[in-house]
Amino acid sequence: MGGKGSGISMDKIPCVLVKEDKVIEVNEEFIEMTEYNMDEIIGKNIEKVFSLLRGGPCIDAKNIDEKADYFLFTKSLEVRYINIEIVIEKEEIRYIIIEKQGSKFEIKHSYLSQLCKSNDIGVAVYSVPDMVLIKANQKYLDFLEPPFNKSYYSIGRKIEKIITNWKESHVAEFWQQAICTGELVQINEYEHIGYERGITYWNSIITPVLEDGAIKYVVSNTSEVTEQVLNRKRIQEQMEVINLQNRQMEAIFESMPKGIFVNYKDANILLQNDVVRKIIHSPSKLRVFNDSHKYIKYFTMDGKSIDFEETPSFRALSGKKIKDERIIVRCSNKDMVLDVSASPIYDEENNVLMSVASANDVTELVNSQIEIKNQKEQLKAIIENMSDGLVLIDKSGKLTMLNKSAEKYFYTMEIMGEDRDNSDITYFDISGNELRKEELPSKRIIKGQIVTEFRILVKKHNSDIYICINGNPVYDDNGNFLFGIMCMKDITEKVIQEKIIRLQQDSVLRAEREKNEALEKTIAMKDEFLSIISHEFRTPLNVINSAVQAMKFICSDDLSDKAKKYLSMIKLNTYRQLRLVNNLLDVTLASAGNIKINKRNLDIVFLTEAIVDSVKTYAAHKDITLTFITLCKEKVIGIDDEKYERILLNILSNAIKFTPANKSITVRLGVKINNVYIEIEDKGIGIPSEKIDTIFERFGQVDSSLSRQAEGTGIGLSIVKKFVEALGGSISVKSEIDRGSTFTIFFPNEEIAEDISCKTIDDLLSDNKLVQITKVEFSDIYL
Ligand code: ADP
């Protein structure tokens, strides 16, 4: 019994007596049940004692529920299921521990106990629902991280306390599933993250165990499969790498420009790439090497048939190494030229395992080589038969090739400049300057120059030979000089012909020049003659005119009407004659470029109005309304009044001539920024469109028909145009048949810098000059 005596025996039920929270007494039964010594219990705080006993679930010494099922663990860590009763005696509390019936797990669940003893697989028993570790074998404990790999630290503890990261791991869900369904759950290779040693993998079988119809325990049979999983994963990764490498190899293999195929000794084709498939025109892979001869025939380059056993890849299977053997392969009636290399591949025992062969399709190359050869021969034939001499030179200027024609040119060698010093040949350029050695075409070409149509005069033994040379250097792709090419032609005949032609041309030119000079002289003489004649005509005409005038004034009373009429006719015709003479003189002066312009600053408005006024009688006589409209009152510009009068009178006389009665003529004057314009608009018969372009040019057309001019047609407007242009202006016409014509003249809107004349407009008009001029200009129009 307990060390301190008294009545603690309590029907031999294990109990402890506590005073002021400390155990003061403990009975034999308690010691027997828990397997602890008295000393380990007595004097200890009661909370500490329950903790020592790993009591649970949630034993609170101060708040014991007598109806609750508790458990505790013996010193040898065997679980005991208990109820606790409390007896309070004055200041002492007695905790009576009533072991439940069948509480001994090792007896009640002896098979689980036995299972725990085997150490082949990790076995653990957890209580439900609090998930406290009741029992575990060392194998299981070894899975846990220190210190929980020792039963002292793990038994009686909750699962989340002993398995790192339990709450976060998904495995807890499987446990929950087993508890909820009451059925066994098998988990394979679940991944557990949280152990210091890294990620671990586990196989577990979670088995719920019933007691009294309710799940009381969960048994975990666990084995670690980390190594297997990791190994498998490593293998998988390696397989992926290998697969990738295989795919890469295959891509390289497929994209190789050469055809590649690998044959096993047993004649199975292991590999063949797309090029091979194209070569043998096989849509699907040719599986068996030996079959290939069914589709393919092999030939040497000179057309001899090759047996299948003699093909390079077959020979490689017997250990031979073949390098670039050129063969012809016939497949689907198509010939191909292949350069084939083949090598044997040995196994570890040095036996030939397979052969690898590469085939380069050189059909195009061979064909183009043949083509080139043919072309070369053609070219050679052309070159040989060319009439021009063709020469190739190396970079030192030495002759490397010459055609037949070049051979014929005895001077070819000399042109190369080789025998220059001992030769009696001299070379000249076409202008007759002697050529120095470095100026010779061959020397220039090797210096990189292009020689184009270079003419050389070769003098040898008193004979002159002319040669035309074209040539240029030829370079390789890297810009290195390969050779120079020179093409030469004997042009002696041509040069002689050219010389003759040139001489003939010279004499023709000379004759032409002399003819022109004579012509110019004649024209000048003609102009002078006309000028003199005109002047000479004018003087007597003026005298006749004055005489007629005088007769009219002085002898007016003595003359009969008839005589007066004849006098008027004489007067009118002298005016007409004067007009013709004036025009002839002007034409002559204009063609010689001798129009004299005498500009003065004058009021063009006043001047124009005066001129229009002077012809009003003529218009009125024909019942034509002549109106002058001006947009400004006065405008002073630099103008030659005499020329202007002639211009305007000429246009007005035409207007009156070609306008029928009862129609109108309007003269408008306006000023723009740069110009002064005068517009003479008539409502007359108009000018046909085919004529309008030439009315100012008439003079040119009628140059030789003086007789027509004498009739008074065709030169008036050409003189007008010349005068207008001499005054710095321009003239244009618009006309419509039966509607009338409008002549527009533009003069520059500017005054002359210095006006030294002292004449005024009044002066100009005072001596009746305008009337005289008008009479002359209007001599065609009868009043
Ligand atoms: P001419 O000195 O004979 O008058 P012009 O050179 O002045 O000759 O005129 C040439 C021709 O242009 C005239 O013969 C006439 O046919 C035509 N012409 C000139 N002005 C007019 C006009 N206002 N209306 C119709 N025809 C015109």
Give the pLDDT confidence score for residue 420 in this predicted structure.
Answer: 47
Closest CA to ligand 1's atom 10: 714
**Residue 691 CB neighbour total at 10 angstroms:** 11
Closest residue by CA, ligand 1 atom 16:
687
Centre of ligand 1 to C-alpha 719, Å, is 12
DSSP 573-605: HHHHHHHHHHHHHHHHHHHTT------EEEEHH
Which amino acid is present at 776?
A: V
695 alpha carbon – ligand 1 mean position (Å): 7
Residue nearest to atom 7 of ligand 1 (CA): 716
- How many angstroms separate the CA atoms of 485 and 470, rounded? 8
Tokens (6 digits) for 679: 């517009």
3-state DSSP helix/strand/coil % of the chain, to nearest 5: 40, 30, 30
Q: Give the amino acid at 220.
A: S
The pLDDT confidence band at residue 701, using thresholds 50, 70 and 90, is very low
Angstrom distance (rounded) from CA 24 to CA 16:
8
Q: Is 682 in the pocket of ligand 1 (CB under 6 A)?
A: yes
Q: Among residues 431, 477, 748, which one has the least CA distance to residue 599? A: 748
Please name which of 345, 335, 175 lies closest in space to residue 260, comparing C-alpha atoms: 345
Which amino acid type is present at position 615? V
Q: For ligand 1, is residue 55 a contact (CB within 6 Å)?
A: no
Ligand 1 centroid from CA 722, angstroms: 16
Point out the ligand 1 atom lying closest to the alpha carbon of residue 680.
23
CA of 665 to the centre of ligand 1 (A): 15
DSSP 714: S
- Find the radius of gyration of the CA atoms of the chain: 69
Q: Has residue 709 got a pLDDT over 60?
A: no
List of domains in the chain: 15-99 (3.30.450.20), 106-229 (3.30.450.20), 253-364 (3.30.450.20), 386-490 (3.30.450.20), 595-782 (3.30.565.10)
Q: In the structure, what pLDDT confidence band is assigned to residue 703 with cuts at 50, 70 and 90?
A: very low
Q: Is the CB of 677 under 6 A from ligand 1?
A: no
Nearest CA, atom 21, ligand 1: 654
Say yes or no: CB of residue 712 within 6 Å of ligand 1.
yes
State in Å: Cα 709 to ligand 1 middle: 13
How far apart (Å, rounded) are the C-alpha atoms in residues 22 and 46? 6
Atom of ligand 1 nearest to the CA of 682: 23
Ligand 1 within 6 A of CB of 654: yes
Distance CA 30, CA 14 (A): 4
Residue to mutate (ligand 1; options 654, 665, 735, 739; most atoms within 8 A of CB): 654
The contacts of residue 545 (CB under 8 Å, 6+ apart) are 571, 574, 575, 578
What are 401-452's pLDDT values in tens digits?
888 887 766 454 455 555 444 456 677 887 888 888 788 888 889 999 999 9
3-class secondary structure, 335: strand
Whole-number Å distance, alpha carbon 354 to ligand 1 midpoint, is 112
Q: Per-residue pLDDT tens for 740-749? A: 999 999 999 9
Measured from the CB, is residue 685 less than 6 Å from ligand 1? yes
Structure letter (DSSP) for residue 482: E
- Tell whether ligand 1 has an atom less than 6 A from the beta carbon of residue 655: yes
Q: Which of 625, 725, 715 is nearest to 667 (CA)?
A: 625
Q: What percent of the chain has pLDDT over 90?
A: 41
- The C-alpha atoms of residue 157 and residue 77 are separated, in whole angstroms, by 12
Q: How far is CA 635 from CA 375, 748, 752, in A?
A: 87, 12, 13
Query: From the CB of 742, is ligand 1 less than 6 Å away?
Result: no
Minimum CA distance residue for ligand 1 atom 1: 713
Whether omega before 283 lies within 30 degrees of 0, making that bond cis, reads no
- Report if pTM > 0.75: no
748 in ligand 1 pocket by Cβ < 6 Å?
A: no
Mean pLDDT lowest among 222-231, 243-252, 548-557, 684-693:
548-557
Distance of CA 233 to the CA centre of its chain: 50
Is 582's C-beta closer than 6 angstroms to any atom of ligand 1?
A: no
Mean model confidence pLDDT for the chain: 84
Residue 578 Cα to ligand 1 midpoint, Å, equals 19
Ligand 1 in reach of 495 Cβ (< 6 A): no
Among 481-490, 566-575, 701-710, the range of highest mean pLDDT: 481-490
Per-residue pLDDT tens digits for 618-663: 899 999 999 999 988 999 999 998 899 889 999 999 999 999 999 9
542: Cβ below 6 Å to ligand 1? no
Distance 672 CA to ligand 1 centre (A): 28
Distance 526 CA to ligand 1 centre (A): 27
Residue 658 Cβ < 6 Å to ligand 1: yes
One-letter amino acid at 690 equals E
Find the mean pLDDT for residues 122-132.
91
* Ligand 1 site, residue 640, Cβ cutoff 6 A: no
Using the mean position of ligand 1's atoms as its centre, give its distance from the Cα of residue 10 in Å.
167
Residue nearest to atom 23 of ligand 1 (CA): 655
Is 698 near ligand 1, meaning CB less than 6 Å away? yes
70 and 57 Cβ atoms separated by less than 8 Å: yes
pLDDT for the residue numbered 110:
84
Q: Is the pLDDT of residue 683 over 50?
A: yes
Angle at 624 between CA 620 and CA 626, to 5 degrees: 85
- Is there an atom of ligand 1 within 6 Å of 681 CB? no
**Ranges 184-188, 214-218, 407-411, 675-679: which has the least confidence:** 407-411
Q: For residues 332 and 155, which has the higher predicted lDDT (pLDDT)?
A: 155
